């Protein structure tokens, strides 16, 4: 791109946006992103973006729908101000669990969200660890799908734990756990579970040897924490000495913090794709994805390879 690099942010995760700009050694673009007195979202750019290569950082955190509308309106404002290109940087992509119909008369909400973003005028998406990688195919524009698993694996390598086993909490997460295993120098175990209802999990069986080992449950997100708690108990029953967990997105819905605090988990390592609650468990450790996203923004702006980051 010949245009200037400019970065704006919504209110979904301003601390992360500030950290990204600290790495880039540049200020965030000036903009009013708030609400009118009637509750409608208000956006006004206070920078000239004509001909610029513009990035909008917005994690779709709680309240999800409010932050989604903020992002859509910001994209529209930037597009109408004649930016050369608009890239939405979405560290946490909401509705990613709703990527298919599980029964009749259900929406495919992730596809609808993709349509909304494209209709608003976005040219490119930069995101981290989609719950369902197939969501990339919902877009007819480029999607740079980053992975934070190397960051999590590096954190466990630094702990110097022997006999580490990476545990996938379900069959769908095997590829993620396998990548963690290769990078952390661990073995692999897989838990089979079913979901009898929304946000509930039921243990069925486990494949792999965990006896006498330190188990790390590897997942993409922590919602209610129930899956982690059940898995940790089963791993200890199967002979694991210690149980850790790591995940990219700390959704922490409902009583998740309490569930983690009362579970047998020794430590839970997450990233800052979502803002953490003020009262968080002492068991939770947070790694920042700011350097990774800052490097990706730089590479996209300069038309350099993104995949080279994971070689």
CB 252 within 8 A of CB 270: no
* Selection from 294, 285, 304, 232 nearest residue 262 by Cα: 232
Per-residue burial over 206-215, b if 16 or more Cβ lie within 10 Å, else e, is bebebeebbb
β-strand partners of 269: 246, 285
Residue 193 bears catalytic tag: yes
Give 74's contacts (C-beta < 8 A, 6+ positions apart): 8, 10, 31, 33, 43, 56, 58
Query: Can you tell me which residue has the tokens 């006004």?
Result: 44
CB 13 within 8 A of CB 272: yes
**List 44, 193, 194, 258, catalytic entry:** 193
CB 70 within 8 A of CB 103: no
* Selection from 91, 77, 167, 158 nearest residue 122 by Cα: 77
CB 178 within 8 A of CB 189: no
Residues acting as catalytic residues: 193
């Amino acid at each position: 791109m010949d245009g200037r690099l400019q970065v704006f942010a919504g209110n979904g995760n301003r601390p992360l946006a500030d950290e990204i700009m600290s790495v880039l050694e540049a200020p965030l673009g000036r903009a009013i992103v708030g609400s009118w007195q009637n509750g409608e979202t208000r956006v006004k750019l206070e920078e000239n973006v004509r001909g610029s290569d513009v990035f909008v950082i917005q994690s779709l955190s709680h309240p999800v729908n409010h932050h989604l509308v903020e992002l859509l309106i910001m994209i529209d404002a930037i597009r109408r101000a004649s930016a050369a290109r608009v890239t939405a940087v979405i560290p946490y992509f909401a509705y990613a669990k709703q990527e298919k119909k599980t029964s009749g008369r259900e929406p495919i909400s992730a596809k609808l969200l993709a349509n909304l973003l494209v209709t608003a005028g976005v040219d490119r998406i930069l995101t981290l660890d989609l719950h369902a990688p197939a969501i990339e195919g919902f877009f007819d524009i480029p999607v740079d799908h980053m992975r934070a698993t190397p960051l999590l694996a590096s954190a466990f390598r630094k702990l110097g734990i022997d006999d580490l086993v990476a545990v996938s909490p379900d069959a769908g997460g095997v590829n993620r756990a396998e990548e963690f295993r290769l990078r952390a120098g661990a073995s692999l175990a897989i838990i089979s579970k079913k979901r009898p209802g929304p946000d509930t999990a039921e243990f069925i069986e486990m494949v792999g040897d965990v006896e006498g080992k330190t188990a790390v449950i590897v997942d993409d997100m922590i919602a209610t924490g129930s899956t982690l708690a059940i898995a940790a108990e089963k791993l200890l029953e199967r002979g694991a000495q210690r149980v850790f967990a790591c995940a990219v997105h700390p959704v922490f819905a409902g009583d998740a913090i309490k569930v983690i605090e009362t579970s047998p988990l020794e430590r839970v390592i997450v990233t800052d794709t979502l803002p953490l609650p003020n009262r968080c468990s002492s068991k939770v450790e947070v790694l920042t994805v700011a350097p990774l996203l800052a490097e990706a923004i730089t590479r996209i702006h300069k038309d350099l390879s993104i995949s080279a980051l994971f070689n």
